[in-house]
Amino acid sequence: MGRGRVELKRIENKINRQVTFSKRRNGLLKKAYELSVLCDAEVALIVFSSRGKLYEFSSAGSMTQTLERYQRSSFSPHDNSTKRETECWYEEVSKLRAKYDSLLRTQRHLLGEDLGPLSVKELQNLEKQLEGALTQARQRKTQIMIEQMEHLRKKERQLGDLNLQLRDKLQKEGENLKAIQDFWSSNSAATGNSNFLHSSQVSHIDPAPEPILQIGYHHYVAAESADVPKSMAMAAETNFIQGWVL
């Protein structure tokens, strides 16, 4: 009795799927080796498991050599470079577009928009991101405030030192001004005493006789005991009379 036909579909049991993969992979590698030996064919086989593990076989001894031969056979020399460049640009544009869409979607989620399609786990991740961003923002704000306080304290110390310097300078100038005032006061007192002594000495000297103004004729009579001669007295009287007449 032969085996029944196996239905080709994905094996749901993980252990059975792994066992089947291992058996069929070995069988496939064996068939590729037999084909290359029996038919003298260049065979290359590449297999990736569901976990991303690589299994390969190349009858030429180098997988790169077989791939280069495949590229030369699949594309003409003229269209090879153009098509490859076009594919590269298309892949780059697709990657950039996907990245742009992802950034827009993330931005809307951070702003609290379009949260309906998100699952509970995605919402928890979004909440963690927001909490982390909020923590970093608070730390940065605290650091800036500490730096500003330190700057203000430094400025306060500088102003305090400047205030002390100005106070010392003002005190020295006040002492110098007081010394000058004392010096001038002592000189003024000494000058006043000397002037007082000089005025007291001058007050004891008899003043000079003031001149006497006589109006009219007064007969000059010389005393007998005067030292002035009579001729001089007569001449003075005559001159006085003449001047009065004129």
pLDDT in tens, 208-232: 555 555 555 444 444 444 454 555 5
Q: pLDDT grade, residue 77 (50/70/90)?
A: low
Average pLDDT, the chain: 77
| Two structure tokens written together for 87 | 């594919």
> Rounded CA gap, 17 and 22, in Å?
9
For 136-160, the pLDDT digits (tens) are 999 999 999 999 999 999 999 999 9
Phi/psi of residue 32, each to 5°? -65, -40
Distance of CA 2 to the CA centre of its chain: 86
Q: Does position 35 have pLDDT exceeding 80, yes or no?
A: yes
DSSP class of residue 204 equals T
Which pLDDT belongs to residue 121? 86
More confident residue, 16 or 190: 16
Which pLDDT belongs to residue 152? 94
Q: Does position 233 have pLDDT exceeding 60, yes or no?
A: no
Q: What's the mean pLDDT in 104-126?
A: 83
Q: What's the mean pLDDT in 186-207?
A: 58
Q: Which helix (H) or strand (E) holds 45?
A: strand 44-48
Which pLDDT belongs to residue 157? 92
Q: Does position 162 have pLDDT exceeding 80, yes or no?
A: yes
Phi/psi of residue 206, each to 5°? -70, 135
The share of the chain scoring above pLDDT 90, in percent, equals 24
Which pLDDT belongs to residue 224? 46
Among 134, 131, 130, CA closest to 142: 134
- Tokens 């036909």 belong to residue: 5
User: Is residue 12 helix, strand or coil?
Assistant: coil
Q: Does position 66 have pLDDT exceeding 80, yes or no?
A: yes
> Rounded CA gap, 226 and 220, in Å?
12
Q: Which of 91-95, 225-229, 241-245 has the lowest mean pLDDT?
A: 241-245
More confident residue, 192 or 18: 18
11-74 fold:
SRF-like (3.40.1810)
Which of the given ranges, 11-15, 58-62, 67-71, 161-165, has the highest pLDDT on average?
161-165
Q: How far is CA 37 from CA 31, 55, 60, 69, 124, in A?
A: 10, 20, 11, 19, 58
